[in-house]
Amino acid sequence: MAWTPDELDALKRAYASGTLRVSYDGKTVEYGSADDLLKRIRTIETEITASAGLSRKIAGYAGFGRGDR
């Protein structure tokens, strides 16, 4: 699905202001929670990043053991 910058901007503004109802391009969507809204933002950001051929950096932790304990 093609996401528009207008949609992403509207979602970010709504999340920042604590609003769950978002309007863009003549459409209005109401999300059930801030978590639902944030998930949509992350989904769109991931899709845009993937379509641009960029990779999203993921932080991780390495674990080491001595093997004798």
Question: How far, in Å, CA of 4 to CA of 24, rounded?
Answer: 10
Q: Is the pLDDT of residue 58 over 80?
A: no
Could you tell me how many helices (H) and strands (E) the chain has, helices first?
2, 2
Tell me the pLDDT tens digit for each residue of 8-44. Answer: 999 999 999 999 999 888 889 999 999 999 999 999 9
Task: Please tell me which residue, 8 or 55, carries the higher pLDDT value.
Answer: 8
- The whole model's pTM is what? 0.69
Residue 31's pLDDT is what? 95
Hey, where are the domains in the chain?
Answer: 5-51
